[in-house]
Structure 1
Amino acid sequence: MPSRRTARIAALTVAAVCSTVSTVVLTAPAQADAADAVRIHDIQGTTRISPYAGKQVTDVAGIVTGVRTYGSSRGFWIQDPNPDADPATSEGVFVFTSSTPQVAAGDSVTVTGTVSEYVPGGTSTGNQSLTELTKPTVTVLSSGNAVPAATVVNARSVPDAYTPAGDAAAGGSVNGLTLKPKKYALDYYESLEGMNVQVSDTRVVTATDPYTELWVTVKPHENATRRGGTVYGSYTSQNTGRLQIQSLGSTADFPAANVGDTLEGTTAGPLDYNQYGGYTLVANQLGTLDAGGVKKETTDRQSRGELAVATYNVENLDPGDDTFADHAAAIVDHLRSPDIVSLEEIQDNNGATDDGTVAADQTVTKLIDAIVAAGGPRYEWRGIDPENDKDGGEPGGNIRQVFLFNPERVSFTDRAGGDATTAVGVTERHGKAALTVSPGRIDPADAAWDASRKPLAGEFVFRGRTVFVIANHFASKGGDQGLTSQYQPPTRSSETQRHLQATAVNSFVKDLLAKQKNADVVTLGDINDFEFSTTAKLLEDDGALWSAIKSLPKSERYTYDYQGNSQVLDQILISPAIRRGGNFDYDSVHINAEFSDQISDHDPQVLRFRP
């Protein structure tokens, strides 16, 4: 997933704006000329782009509903207490001051300024724009007025349909379409942009993150997981009840919530639109956190005759991190010390220091020692150091996949010759498939792996039977347009590379199966794509593999939680011999994604089967 925080970029769809310190004029109350004044609903209009964009407006009247005194988006929201009869026109708007505003909630003000359309993150993101008043001159008419009553957002008010299709003549943009707030959820939220809104007794569907925000749903029965989240199960089921919550108050007062918790009572404040999630309730009143009691899961222990294979993204682990004991406890206590563990995002020995270091033996050894200290086995490990700065990820970190294996349960078949640039091949030994090098990387020179992690293939033996394991970390979703993009449906540009990667891995598995039809092949890792995606279909092509997470009920299919959607990014795919036997168990072990104190943003997966 892309980096979460960058400086505010003043990229505008209509007019370039220079931010200045707002001028605040204190005067006695005065009567506005209602016949000539432009009102907020006139500015907002019935589409996403203001009909006044780029124009100067004078003496726009409203009551201050919220004040943001921090960050690069300082300013305040005003709302007209006398709305018009059109549900498509918002009665609220944000006044961008750049410096700390000198107003308070309840102030009656007039604002003279320029109407601007600000695109959070810049136009390249595809995000919708936020209508603002900029370079403002503010006149405070009176204080202590009643704030306009909050509009209630609930399951009845939010439509089930997510968004209209974008206008093909406008490149797929919805910006110029007339809002239909009773038909589409995104139109409904847009019709409330800048207004005071409230939700009540809402369930948390993404835990509090390091940026002091969480997600709730106003539709508790919408694709619910058994643990309180909301499953993202298709590209046409975006879960309309999701809403991001931030706070105008102190970060110290923001609740540390987990999925399944509830914000009891009323959470209210202006409805904003930002780069990281779109429509966001910026609360000046937060509900009380009621813990749902969700616990970290523990998988079943494998029987003596079962092989347990796991995948676990340890999120940029390097020797300087303080999470080794936590990861070790996760592997020992919650994963039950699997026989083979594919680790993703193992960084080199000095982490993000970009000095040419590529070896990761210190990182892996520190984790193995921590596992032993936690009561687990002394794993052995295999991996291949990448070329410096060629595999993407955090600059200088040189992330890669690594195999851990318990030598008391399984052996590794070493065949020399595998390195960063040598491609592993498939041969035949004694009438069965074998790797030419082990460990080895799949076709590292293929353009599919440019600036991305190369798959690591290894040959293992369990109770006399060979098992091939392919560890993957496909290209990230960075650069994709968000679900609330102005372009509908949003473009998923990152898929192009993952499709090439999936095709390459599928082809390699087919080579194995051509040499040995009943070969046991496990292809696993951070696929960075959904079980219903084209990426997954290409991996499964011609029945060479099958994503085992589909053996779970739909309400349990998730390994990651993003913007209120519990979704699949990590997968374990199995060859026909494993699937046909039917004697396998698959478990997505929820120990991270649903929790505010997560040590990784991914949940590990475990497959148990009898080769």
Structure 2
Amino acid sequence: MPSKSSARLAALTVAAACSAASTILFTVPAHADSVRIHDIQGATRTSPYAGQKVTDVAGIVTGVRGYGSSKGFWMQDPNPDADPATSEGVFVFTSSAPKVAVGDSVTVTGTVSEYVPGGASSGNQSVTEITKPVVTVVSSGNAVPAPVVINARSVPAAYTPAGDPAANGSVNGLTLRPATYALDYYESLEGMNVQVADTRVVTGTDPYSELWVTVKPNEHKSRRGGTVYGSYDAQNTGRLQIQSLGATADFPVADVGDTLAGATVGPLDYNQFGGYTLVAAQLGTLKSGGLQRETTAKQSRGELAVATYNVENLDPSDATFDAHASAIVHNLNSPDIVSLEEIQDDNGATDDGTVGASRTVGKLIDAIVAAGGPRYEWRSIDPVNDQDGGEPGGNIRQVFLFNPARVSFTDRPGGDSTTAVGVTKVHGKAALTASPGRVDPASDAWKSSRKPLAGEFVFRGRTVFVIANHFASKGGDQGLTAQYQPPARSSEVQRHLQATEVNSFVKDILKVQKNADVITLGDMNDFEFSGTAKILEGHGELWSAIKSLPRNERYTYDYQGNQQVLDQILISPSIRRGDFAYDSVHINSEFHDQISDHDPQVLRFRP
């Protein structure tokens, strides 16, 4: 998932920057005397002139970037060749504020480089650029080449070719087929002036003044206006990131379902935080779609409502307690049990050995009462200091909140940060050896990751087992626009181990009591169609209840224009056979002013 560090802001447009660590230089034959931009770009993703000096390359300046770490300008040849695979635009990296203006006719002498945003280890594609330039302005006030219109008809339905097995799966050396593959089409326009028009926003404005639109309004459209990512083969080809060459204060503050009406025009860039990006010199006009935050139904007297909610690194210094409390009370209608993920210790990111979270949880409970909700009680187990991943020093963990007026918690001593909880039989029924307890915390599956929290609850005389999870993040996975296709998902190796552990624990419960009500929930950091989910579900021990929703409502998170499932509630056969209702309550992921990047989930059923 994307980092929230301040370093990201400074590196937001690093796609055109140059560093020795991530610049690929190729040895090629000597270049011709007269080189044009389309010669430099070539018909593959890497330039045939990479590593060589080129002289007096001509073009019209189409965009100037004088901020950030990638200062420079784009230029474009107004006289294109006949090959649709060769781009007519290129970025010139100047390192300092460029001394050119849009409309200048220039010649550039410099070295052709292939820069990999994020470094070679990221697996990202490279950006062709001219570095160490000597720039000559020939004339000013020239017409800028007309933008290439990107729309639903121009972008192919297929996303990308498979990578070359002889090149470890890289697509870099493959001849571009822009009429066949979307990524090839975008690559064929790298550095060129492009335009989208009347596009719907599919990821709202983030803190870095960027948003995502789709040029394909009917592509896997969600009920609320986004674009759903429903399989590894449905990457959604119409998604495009939008940034601006103007002041960040003027950037539109948009939610999912809003529209950028009219034309948005500028050079097509590629960066490590989203791949192909239109860096707009002209932005469309924002028109609101009127999206409102959802409210789930109130549980009936005989229904147990169980929720999961990732509150995004919550610690006592945050200003979001009242907003989270309002969401729990009003949007979630005060569930009987709430599994919270990313509760930090009492001093947040300060790394001084503090692991307790009573101040953090107490502040949230007080805010819930102030918002008109119940005074929840809570259970959790403090982690071993700095052993559970997340923000350094934060010691995130899962916490159970429960409404004692509706449900009781069965306390059994013995649970701590390093002791594994087990399953035993009491009066012919399953019981935990410790409640709360942690599932096999010494297993390598949980190295530098959150350990599952298991607890026993009783509702109207019926025991319900709840296992709260926060699986390993997707950090380190290659992006959808990576040069390696299909991209590697290295992080799922650990999640598969974690899913195996949790499924095994659920099996232990069901072996003792076949009809036990078991709920496994939390931030699984993986999709409902993923291998992780399949391992969790096993041979019917569990079932991801989000699959009870229509496909266009299955999402809990919005990333790079793809609405997707990361948070899940999985249920045992006894619950699935009964009368249950599931709701993904969209209060965060679609909005620019989100208080968490995750939407909460609620399950209502009759034990």
- 2:605 pairs with 1:598: no
| 1:299 match: secondary structure | coil
| 2:261 match: secondary structure | strand
Amino acid in structure 1 at the alignment position of 2:606: R
- Tell me the distance in 2 between the aligned counterparts of 1:15 and 1:454: 45
Partner residue in 1 for 2:408: 411
Partner residue in 2 for 1:609: 605
Partner residue in 2 for 1:143: 140
8 Å contact kept, 2:75–2:90: yes
- 2:502 pairs with 1:505: yes
- Tell me the distance in 2 between the aligned counterparts of 1:590 and 1:542: 31
- Tell me the distance in 2 between the aligned counterparts of 1:450 and 1:254: 41
Q: CA deviation at 1:12?
A: 3.1
Amino acid in structure 2 at the alignment position of 1:122: G
- 2:573 pairs with 1:576: yes
Aligned-pair identity in percent equals: 82
Deviations 1:274-316, CA, capped at 9 Å, x for gaps: 0001000000000000000010000000000000000000000
- 2:191 pairs with 1:203: no
Q: CA deviation at 1:474?
A: 0.1
Partner residue in 2 for 1:184: 181
Amino acid in structure 2 at the alignment position of 1:595: F
Partner residue in 2 for 1:125: 122
Query: Which of residues 12, 31, 54 in structure 1 aligns to 2:22?
Result: 12
Amino acid in structure 1 at the alignment position of 2:240: L
- 2:447 pairs with 1:437: no
Partner residue in 2 for 1:427: 424
The 4+ residue runs of structure 1 with deviation greater than 6 A are none
| 2:184 match: secondary structure | helix
Partner residue in 1 for 2:164: 167
Deviations 1:19-68, CA, capped at 9 Å, x for gaps: xxxxxxxxxxxxxxxx9420000000000000000000000000000000
- 2:360 pairs with 1:368: no
- Tell me the distance in 1 between the aligned counterparts of 2:261 and 2:33: 44
Q: CA deviation at 1:15?
A: 2.6
Partner residue in 2 for 1:25: none
| 2:449 match: secondary structure | coil
Q: Where in structure 2 are the equivalents of 1:463-478 lying within 5 Å?
A: 463-478=460-475
Amino acid in structure 1 at the alignment position of 2:3: S
Amino acid in structure 2 at the alignment position of 1:37: S
Q: Where in structure 2 are the equivalents of 1:172-571 lying within 5 Å?
A: 172-571=169-568
Partner residue in 1 for 2:29: none
8 Å contact kept, 1:59–1:112: yes
| 1:50 match: secondary structure | coil
- Tell me the distance in 2 between the aligned counterparts of 1:14 and 1:195: 22
| 1:304 match: secondary structure | coil
- 2:113 pairs with 1:82: no
Deviations 1:58-87, CA, capped at 9 Å, x for gaps: 000000000001000110000000000000
8 Å contact kept, 1:2–1:479: no
Mark the runs of 5 or more structure 1 residues left unpaired by the alignment.
Answer: 17-34
Amino acid in structure 1 at the alignment position of 2:464: V
- Tell me the distance in 1 between the aligned counterparts of 2:40 and 2:533: 46
Mark the runs of 5 or more structure 2 residues left unpaired by the alignment.
Answer: 27-31
Partner residue in 2 for 1:24: none
Partner residue in 2 for 1:49: 46
TM-score by length of 1: 0.96
| 1:577 match: secondary structure | helix
8 Å contact kept, 1:12–1:116: no
- Tell me the distance in 2 between the aligned counterparts of 1:149 and 1:230: 29
8 Å contact kept, 2:2–2:273: no
Amino acid in structure 2 at the alignment position of 1:551: S
8 Å contact kept, 1:14–1:117: yes
Q: CA deviation at 1:13?
A: 4.7
Q: CA deviation at 1:542?
A: 1.0
| 2:24 match: secondary structure | coil
- Tell me the distance in 1 between the aligned counterparts of 2:437 and 2:238: 46
Partner residue in 2 for 1:22: none
- 2:3 pairs with 1:3: yes
Partner residue in 1 for 2:582: 586
Q: CA deviation at 1:386?
A: 0.1
Could you say if the C-alpha distance between residues 315 and 566 of structure 1 is closer, same or farther in structure 2, counting changes exceeding 3 Å?
Answer: same
| 1:136 match: secondary structure | strand
Amino acid in structure 2 at the alignment position of 1:111: V
Amino acid in structure 2 at the alignment position of 1:14: I
Aligned Cα RMSD in Å?
A: 0.9
Q: Where in structure 2 are the equivalents of 1:57-68 lying within 5 Å?
A: 57-68=54-65
Q: CA deviation at 1:266?
A: 0.1
- Tell me the distance in 2 between the aligned counterparts of 1:71 and 1:121: 15
- Tell me the distance in 1 between the aligned counterparts of 2:312 and 2:70: 30
| 2:398 match: secondary structure | strand
8 Å contact kept, 2:160–2:182: yes
Partner residue in 2 for 1:99: 96
Q: CA deviation at 1:2?
A: 3.9
Partner residue in 2 for 1:40: 37
Aligned length: 592
- Tell me the distance in 2 between the aligned counterparts of 1:458 and 1:71: 49
Deviations 1:497-520, CA, capped at 9 Å, x for gaps: 000000000000000000000000
- Tell me the distance in 2 between the aligned counterparts of 1:587 and 1:477: 24
Q: CA deviation at 1:248?
A: 0.2
| 2:401 match: secondary structure | strand
- Tell me the distance in 1 between the aligned counterparts of 2:198 and 2:3: 31
